[in-house]
Structure formats: structure tokens, C-alpha cells
């Protein structure tokens, strides 16, 4: 089994089986002297339960998953062009698809005899929403080897912090362009103070966005570090449990052996006492017989 085959097997299996299966593969690799495989296999991280549900979709419902993620480009186009009607329609479609995919993942999990809760399905929905907003996350989800639960707190793919949405009614009320032959009326010059105010607002929005992105990046780093530490702690706990189980089994065997040995010792002591009594009786009989022979 190469590393890809091991990874496919691990991320397809329920998360509860992940650590034991991976560690067994690492031990086998070390025993056969394949240190490179052992090191690479040990780096494979157990998925969260929500990530495992996403992996189920990538493996068993790939066409439906691609269909959901395929609307990301349309959402981005609608945001860039400020097409409110298209954005509303796509957002409604997105919500229905995400909810449907979450339900399907729950059904697949139950077929694998894995329980799912509403909160777990909501976490999966967060992952799918993040995949729609971030192409990098979408690739992670498509890989079928997602390990972490991801949430997205931005405004969506390709959002422009300086954009101002024009309402449909305003578009309809906008005057048609004047005929080229007719002279256009001169538009009044904008108030410089108003222009400056709008520039300040745009600059402020840009700063707010930069601050929010920096905070989000820091939070993601903290989350990833915490997840890595959690994974390390769980692995250590699992190894400790295995060691306790092994030592407990050894102790039970030693105690059984001690009890058997004690019983054997007691039986041997009783047999030795009986043999001593028999030897004494035989010695007495021998002495009496010898005395009678001498008297004769």
C-alpha cells in the first residue's frame, strides 16, 4: 500500500478508526525499515466529524458536489456586476443546495452506522459555504481529504468593499441615454466636499476590510494551531490508553500466574508433609522389624 492508498483508506473510514489504522501503518512501516513512509503517514491528521462528512460527499456524491461548487463563479460575477436580482436568485439556490447536500451526507453517514446530529450538519453546511467563498477551500473539499471544520465570515467570493448596490427600481427609473443628435445637458459640478467625504468613506472601508482580514487570518492561524495541538493530544491520549490496556493485560496475566503458583505451592507443601509422615511411619516400622530380628 502506498501513501495515497493509505490516505484514501483513512479518510474514507469513520474518524474513530483513523488513529489506530494510521498508527498500525506507521508501526508496520518502521518494522520493515521504511522510515520515509512512516514519517509521511504519521503526519496524516484525523478529520473532524464535519470534515469527514464533507469527504463522504467528495467520494460518493462527486457530481452533486461539483454542481454546488460550480455556482461559486456565478455568485462572484453577480457580486462584481452588482446584479442584485441574480445574486438573490443564486443565494436562494445556494442555500437549497447546501441544505440538500448536508442532508445527503447525513444519510450516507447513517448508512455507515455513524450517528449525526443537527449541529454536525450545520458544521458541514459552514464548510460548504466556505468552499463556495474560497477556491482554496473548494479544492480541499474536492480532494476528499479535508481534516478541519471551516467557517467563512466574509461577504462572499469577489466582494468589493467599495461597491454600492443599485436597486432594481433605480435601474428601471434611470433615463434612457439621450440621442446622439441632441445636445446633452451639462451636469452640475460635484461638490468637492462631497467628493472628499466619499473618498474618506472608501478609505475607511478599505482599512476596516484590511483589519478584518488580518483578524481573520490571525484567528485562522490560532484555530489551526489549536486543532493541531488537539490532534497531538488525542494521539498521545490514544497511545496512553493503548499502553494502559497492554499493562493491564500483563498485570491480569501476572496475577493469574501468581494465583496458580500459590495454589501449586500449597498443594506441593501438603504433599511434602504427607510424604514426611509416610517416611516417618516407614522408618518406625523398619526399626521395630530390625529389633525383632536381633532378638531372635
37 in Cβ contact with 24 (< 8 Å): no
171 in Cβ contact with 94 (< 8 Å): no
pLDDT tens track for 196-230: 777 788 778 877 777 776 676 667 667 656 765 76
Residue 151 belongs to a domain:
yes
Residue 191 belongs to a domain:
no
Q: Are residues 83 and 31 in the same domain?
A: no
In 10 A of CB 235, how many CB atoms? 17
Chosen domain end from 128, 156, 184:
156
Dist. CA 51–CA 49, nearest whole Å: 5
Q: Are residues 25 and 73 in the same domain?
A: no
Residue 118 belongs to a domain:
yes
Range with lowest mean pLDDT among 73-82, 181-190, 247-256: 181-190
**280 Cβ contact partners less than 8 Å away, ≥ 6 residues apart:** none
> C-alpha 38: how far from its chain's center?
21
pLDDT tens track for 108-164: 999 988 988 999 999 999 999 888 888 999 999 999 999 998 887 554 443 333 333
Residue 221 belongs to a domain:
yes
Looking at per-residue confidence, does 252 or 29 come out higher? 29
Looking at residue 246, what is its pLDDT?
78
Q: Are residues 38 and 62 in the same domain?
A: no
pLDDT at 181 over 60: no
Residue 179 belongs to a domain:
no
Residue 273 belongs to a domain:
yes
**10 Cβ contact partners less than 8 Å away, ≥ 6 residues apart:** 18, 21, 22, 44
List, in sequence order, the alpha helices (H) in the chain: 3-12, 18-31, 35-42, 49-60, 62-69, 71-80, 84-111, 118-133, 135-143, 168-173, 192-295
Dist. CA 190–CA 188, nearest whole Å: 6
Q: Are residues 236 and 293 in the same domain?
A: yes
Supply the pTM of this predicted model.
0.51
Residue 206 belongs to a domain:
no
pLDDT tens track for 3-42: 999 999 999 888 888 999 999 999 999 999 999 999 999 9
Q: Are residues 271 and 237 in the same domain?
A: yes
DSSP 45-94: PPPPHHHHHHHHHHHH-HHHHHHHHTHHHHHHHHHHTT-HHHHHHHHHHH
Number of domains in the chain: 3
Helix 135-143 crosses helix 118-133 at what angle (to 10 degrees)? Answer: 130
Q: Are residues 63 and 150 in the same domain?
A: yes
In 10 A of CB 71, how many CB atoms? 16
Q: Are residues 152 and 238 in the same domain?
A: no
Residue 134 belongs to a domain:
yes
Looking at residue 30, what is its pLDDT?
93
Chosen domain end from 115, 135, 156:
156
DSSP-assigned letter for residue 204: H
Dist. CA 98–CA 102, nearest whole Å: 6
For 125, the domain range is 57-156
DSSP-assigned letter for residue 189: P
Amino acid at each position: 500500500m502506498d501513501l495515497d492508498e493509505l490516505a484514501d483508506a483513512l479518510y474514507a473510514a469513520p474518524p474513530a478508526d483513523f488513529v489506530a489504522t494510521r498508527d498500525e501503518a506507521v508501526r508496520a512501516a518502521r518494522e520493515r525499515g521504511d522510515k520515509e513512509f512512516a514519517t509521511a503517514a504519521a503526519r496524516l491528521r484525523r478529520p473532524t466529524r464535519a470534515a469527514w462528512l464533507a469527504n463522504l460527499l467528495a467520494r460518493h456524491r462527486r457530481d452533486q458536489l461539483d454542481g454546488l461548487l460550480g455556482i461559486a463563479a456565478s455568485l462572484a460575477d453577480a457580486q462584481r456586476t452588482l446584479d442584485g436580482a441574480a445574486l438573490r436568485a443564486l443565494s436562494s439556490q445556494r442555500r437549497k443546495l447546501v441544505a440538500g447536500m448536508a442532508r445527503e451526507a447525513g444519510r450516507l453517514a447513517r448508512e455507515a452506522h455513524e450517528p449525526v446530529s443537527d449541529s454536525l450538519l450545520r458544521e458541514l453546511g459552514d464548510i460548504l459555504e466556505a468552499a463556495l467563498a474560497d477556491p482554496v477551500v473548494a479544492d480541499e473539499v474536492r480532494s476528499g481529504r479535508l481534516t478541519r471544520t471551516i467557517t467563512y465570515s466574509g461577504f462572499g467570493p469577489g466582494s468589493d468593499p467599495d461597491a454600492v448596490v443599485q436597486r432594481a427600481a433605480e435601474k428601471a427609473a434611470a433615463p434612457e441615454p439621450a440621442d446622439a443628435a441632441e445636445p446633452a445637458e451639462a451636469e452640475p459640478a460635484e461638490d468637492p466636499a462631497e467628493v472628499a467625504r466619499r473618498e474618506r468613506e472608501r478609505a475607511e472601508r478599505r482599512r476596516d476590510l484590511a483589519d478584518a482580514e488580518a483578524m481573520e487570518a490571525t484567528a485562522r492561524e490560532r484555530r489551526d494551531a489549536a486543532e493541531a495541538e488537539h490532534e497531538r493530544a488525542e494521539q498521545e491520549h490514544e497511545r496512553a490508553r493503548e499502553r494502559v490496556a497492554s499493562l493491564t493485560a500483563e498485570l491480569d496475566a501476572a496475577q493469574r500466574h501468581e494465583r496458580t503458583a500459590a495454589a501449586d505451592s500449597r498443594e506441593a507443601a501438603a504433599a511434602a508433609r504427607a510424604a514426611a509422615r509416610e517416611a516417618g511411619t516407614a522408618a518406625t516400622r523398619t526399626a521395630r522389624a530390625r529389633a525383632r530380628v536381633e532378638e531372635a
